Amino acid sequence: MNDKTASHDFPCLANHFLVAMPGLHDPNFSHSVIYVCDHSKDGAMGLVINSPLEIPLSQIFEQFELSYSPRVGTEPLMSGGPVQIDRGFVLHRPGQREWEATLPISSDISLTSSRDIISDIAEEQGPSDMMVTLGYAGWGPGQLEGELANNAWLTVPADANIIFNVPCEQRAHAAAAIIGIDLNLLSSNAGHA
């Protein structure tokens, strides 16, 4: 077995959306859209992009003892997933500035996990298009591939416009529409011939 097929036969899904299929009943992921940030033979990591928390960004700024713009303070925090829910991540378009821990994922989407970006966001000096999440979704080696084989997720090439410009409640339908699928027409029952 060569190294490329040792763990999976699936292509790398970084910079893709995972749209929960109707049969996915895990309460952490039912009806969710996940932006995959990293995917390798060692596993995968992504952020749920359509699950706002009832917590405004102002609470994060106050926890860090930062002064902030009232406009930015009202923005909602997002639940990025059930892993490390005390850790923050910022999904954003690349900006004029680089922060301490920024990972470019595509030409128009980056991930930053350092405090310096939070300070800039508080002062309205951060990226113009961004989403702040708490926690992430993670899969061990082969786990995501198993879920894909069981039709738990629809895979769709990512579109930054959906992350940053489409309202949360419309993101699943917008992501599925990229590949011509209407989620309203999908059944929660898997068919077997």
Distance separating the N- and C-terminal Cα atoms of the chain: 31
Structural domain includes residue 104: yes
The C-alpha torsion from 13 through 19 and 20 to 22, rounded to 10°, is -130
For residue 111, the enclosing domain spans 3-185
Separation CA 17–CA 49 (nearest Å): 9
What was the pLDDT predicted at 96?
A: 72
Is 193 among the domain residues? no
Report if residue 128 sits inside a domain: yes
Whole-number pLDDT of residue 188: 56
Residue 90: name the closest of 112, 110, 107 by CA. 112
Q: The whole model's pTM is what?
A: 0.88
Q: Please report the pLDDT score of residue 192 as a whole number.
A: 41
Specify the pLDDT at position 1.
31
**How many domains in the chain?**
1
User: Distance between CA atoms of 32 and 24, rounded to whole angstroms?
Assistant: 10
* Contact indicator for 173, 31 with CB cutoff of 8 Å: no
pLDDT recorded at residue 191: 44
| Phi–psi pair at 3, nearest 5 degrees | -60, -30
The CATH code of the domain that includes 61 is 3.40.1740.10
Cα–Cα distance for residue pair 165/111, rounded to 1 Å: 17
In a domain, 159, yes or no: yes
Measured distance CA(107)–CA(109) in Å, rounded: 6
**Does a structural domain hold residue 98?**
yes
> Tens-of-pLDDT digits for all 193 residues of the chain?
333 333 446 688 999 999 999 877 788 888 899 999 999 999 999 999 999 999 999 999 999 999 998 888 999 999 999 999 889 999 999 877 888 889 899 999 999 998 899 999 999 888 889 999 999 999 999 999 999 988 899 999 999 999 999 999 999 999 999 999 888 887 655 444 4
50 in any annotated domain: yes
Does 191 reside within a domain?
A: no
Q: Is residue 192 part of a domain?
A: no
Q: Count of residues for the chain?
A: 193
Q: Which of 41, 167, 139, 124 is nearest to 82 (CA)?
A: 139
Amino acid at 129: D
Please count the helices (runs of H) and the strands (runs of E) in the chain: 7, 10
